[in-house]
Amino acid sequence: MRIDSPAAGAVTATAERIRGADILAAVRRAGIATVVSVPDIVTSDGLLWPISRDPSLAHVRVCKEDEGVSICAGLACAGRRALLLIQHTGLLDSVNALRAIAVDYGTPICMIVGLQGLEPDREPPRSASLGVRVVEPLLDVLGIAHARLGARGDEAAIEPAFDRAYRDWMPYAFIVTRPPV
């Protein structure tokens, strides 16, 4: 159930890379006040470190991604919006928590997921890495709507997607295909 964003997250040499500052601005416009994270090498420089220095965002560091799913769910039940910032390996590790909490209970778990190891000249389904290749099909099987973040302009999809997730009480994932600058 991939939903194409304006630039469709295409991995091309000609597309201008997405900026972490633009992602953060869109996250704030979506009313996200808390970011729950496990370090992700794909988003660290352009997104995670700026989040950790931003006094307008509460930053909760967790050891495991499924802890983050639970914290985001608790915040949603308390009427607060949160973002789970993780790497795809952690997404794979937390499938059961996502299935139960986000999908079965219909909880708005909003995620930005870095694809560690995606080759710069390939789309995720064409990656040599099995872990990268299965992320989008797995989200499809779980019924979690998703889109890609990789090119400048993709961030325009964040606010409406996260607003829809909280309005309809459903999870949503953005897949980072290129490290933000």
Is the CATH code 3.40.50.970 the one for domain 20-176? yes
pLDDT at 6: 44
Cα-Cα-Cα-Cα torsion 153, 159, 161, 166, nearest 10 degrees, comes to: 170
Distance CA 149, CA 128 (A): 20
pTM: 0.92
Q: Where are the domains of the chain?
A: 20-176
Per-residue pLDDT tens digits for 61-79: 999 999 999 999 999 999 9
What single-letter DSSP state applies at residue 49?
H
Between the alpha carbon of residue 181 and those of residues 43, 46, 96, 142, the distances in Å are 9, 5, 32, 30
